Amino acid sequence: MPHITTLLAFALVSLGIVLTPGPNMIYLISRSLTQGPAAGIVSLGGVALGFVFYMLCAAFGITALLFAVPYAYDALRFAGAAYLLWMAWQALKPNGRSPFQVRKLKVDGPRKLFAMGFVTNLLNPKIAMLYLALLPQFIDPAVGSVLTQSLVLGTIQTVISVGINAVIALTAGSIAMFLGTRPTWLLVQRWLMGTVLAGLAVKLAFEARKA
């Protein structure tokens, strides 16, 4: 099992990423605002299945990679740091788009909503990079099974992401109205997330190689 400090650090990364607007958040908010919170929750079910798919693929793939390829950890570490810096820039760059700028979506049935949520997550580069480049930074072969650590960390990410997105989907209308009259809050959120992600990127880049 990972150390508690590792679990908390990964939870912080997961929280920062889920609060940074991306395809999943934009789709779920747009769906909730155009078809109602129930449609957003059904779509979120598909998104959650996408998280499980990525978690299983990454867990088995990372396990094989870290044991088979010398310096694989270092390569993934620098890739993860670079990705966090890119995420920080997306949050801090001028004229960043708010996810509450609704896209018009046609009305779909539950099966289509679930499928679209799943596909949206599978095609989300933010989640792909989270599992392929960032998750390995929090795995230490010296403390136990790489597979077990991958599954534990993946479960933490899934629970945090699904929980936050569920709250957003259920309250999208109220949040959109609040932010529409208080745009300063969006700016504060962007700078806070950008600063946290940039700090984590620097920490990962200069972290000592794990044995």
DSSP per residue over 96-135, as a string?
PPPTTSPPP-----HHHHHHHHHHHHHT-HHHHHIIIIIG
Number of H helices and E strands in the chain, helices first, is 9, 0
Rounded mean pLDDT, 184-189: 69
What is the reported pLDDT for 206?
73
Q: How far apart are CA 69 and CA 100, in angstroms?
A: 43
Q: In the predicted model, is pLDDT for residue 210 greater than 50?
A: no
Q: How far apart are CA 97 and CA 85, in angstroms?
A: 18
Is the full-model pTM beyond 0.75?
no
Return the SS3 of 1: coil
Give 114-170 pLDDT, tens digit per residue. 999 998 888 876 777 777 777 877 888 788 888 888 899 999 999 999 999 999 889
Give 75-103 pLDDT, tens digit per residue. 666 776 776 677 677 667 776 555 555 55
